[in-house]
């Protein structure tokens, strides 16, 4: 009997281990396919901070025609409105103030100014803010924070 058991053990060969593929690594179309699934390569995405891109573009594209520094009294302009609408009103007031004083139709506000206006939330914008308005040759005005020396 021992000879027969040895023969049985020799004849049964375990199949080679197959590569295990995690379900997360297989795309949706490959899950439903009858063929063997393949693993998709995950490519790292290159992310560049928006501030770095904005600074590069602003330095290259803008040909300064006029540049002025203003201290805008946001408290006088925007605190007369409802508490829940003060910061949006402050953004509109800054845009209108700069458009009036720079004689421009198009005014865009930089992210830094927007963050400064929204820093304490919707209810409490700052009472005043110092900005630097830059006008290019096309008549567009961009509002930046004032440079502190």
* β-pairing verdict for 129-136 and 141-145: antiparallel
CATH number of the domain within which 122 lies: 3.10.440.10
* Amino acid 122: pLDDT: 92
Residue 125 lies in a domain: yes
CA 70 to mean position of chain CA atoms: 28
The C-alpha atoms of residue 74 and residue 125 are separated, in whole angstroms, by: 8
Mean pLDDT by 10 residues, the chain (149 residues): 56 62 53 50 50 51 84 84 90 94 94 95 93 93 87
Residue 51 lies in a domain: no
The C-alpha atoms of residue 116 and residue 112 are separated, in whole angstroms, by: 6
Which residues span the domain enclosing 105?
Answer: 64-145
* Amino acid 21: pLDDT: 55
* Amino acid 24: pLDDT: 57
Residue 46 lies in a domain: no
* Amino acid 53: pLDDT: 47
* Amino acid 60: pLDDT: 52
The tokens of 89 are what? 């009103």
The tokens of 49 are what? 């901070």
For the chain, how many structural domains are there in total? 1
């Amino acid at each position: 009997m021992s000879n027969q058991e040895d023969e049985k053990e020799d004849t049964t060969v375990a199949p080679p281990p197959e590569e295990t593929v995690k379900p997360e690594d297989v795309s949706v179309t490959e899950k439903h396919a009858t063929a063997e699934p393949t693993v998709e390569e995950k490519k790292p995405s290159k992310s560049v901070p928006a501030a770095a891109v904005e600074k590069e573009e602003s330095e290259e594209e803008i040909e300064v025609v006029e540049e002025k520094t203003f201290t805008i009294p946001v408290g006088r302009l925007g605190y007369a409105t409802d508490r829940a609408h003060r910061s949006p009103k402050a953004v509109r007031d800054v845009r209108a103030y700069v458009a009036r004083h720079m004689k421009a139709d198009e005014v865009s506000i930089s992210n830094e100014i927007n963050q400064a206006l929204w820093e304490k939330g919707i209810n409490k914008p700052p009472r005043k803010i110092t900005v630097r308005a830059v006008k290019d040759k096309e008549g567009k005005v961009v509002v930046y924070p004032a440079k502190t020396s």
